Structure 1
Amino acid sequence: MEELIGTIVKALVDHPDEVHIEKVENNHSITYQLKVHGDDMGKVIGKQGRIAKSIRTVINAAGTNEKKKINLEIV
């Protein structure tokens, strides 16, 4: 899943070297913490959060075989 998120985000940003994804897992959910360069934050979030919502939709669809809720935090 980290590879999928990385592929999507690196295509959007100007500083793909500074894209870092950390996985935090507990009993009921998996949270991916996405860290990008400060200048790229707006590109990842998009107008009114549309791009971030789209990324979340894709990872939720890709993670349907997981029995846990999947979250994406943009830090």
Structure 2
Amino acid sequence: MKDLIEYIAKSLVEHPEEVQVRQNGNGSRVRIELNVSKDDMGRVIGKGGKVANSIRILLRVAAEREGKQATLDVMEP
């Protein structure tokens, strides 16, 4: 799941070298933290949060395939 989020984020941003993804949690619950450069926050969040919500949906589907629940937090730089 971490690799999926990292791939998506790096595809969206202008500074892919600054993308950092951390996966926390154990068992059936996973929390993914996404850090991008301040300049790229708008690209990852999108207008009205549409891009971030789309990424969350993809993450949720990937997590369900593994029998887990996952959340995505886009962290401020």
Tell me how far 1:59 sits from its aligned partner: 0.9
Report the identity percentage.
41
2:73 maps to 73
Give 1:3 deviation, angstroms.
Answer: 1.1
SS of residue in 1 equivalent to 2:58: helix
* Counterpart Cα distance in 1 of 2:6 and 2:17: 10
Deviations 1:6-60 (A, max 9, x none): 1111111000000000011045521000000000001000000000000000111
Tell me the secondary structure at the aligned position of residue 14 of structure 1.
coil
TM-align CA RMSD: 1.2
1:1-75 paired onto structure 2 within 5 Å: 1-27=1-27, 29-75=29-75
Shift of 1:68: 3.0
User: When the two structures are aligned, how many residues end up with a matched partner?
Assistant: 75
Give me the TM-score of the superposition, normalised by structure 1.
Answer: 0.91
| Structure 1 CA distance for aligned equivalents of residues 29 and 68 of structure 2 | 5
One-letter amino acid of the counterpart of residue 55, structure 1: I
Once residues 58 and 68 of structure 1 are traced to their aligned partners in structure 2, the CA distance between those partners, rounded to angstroms, is 13
In structure 2, the gaps of 5 or more residues are none
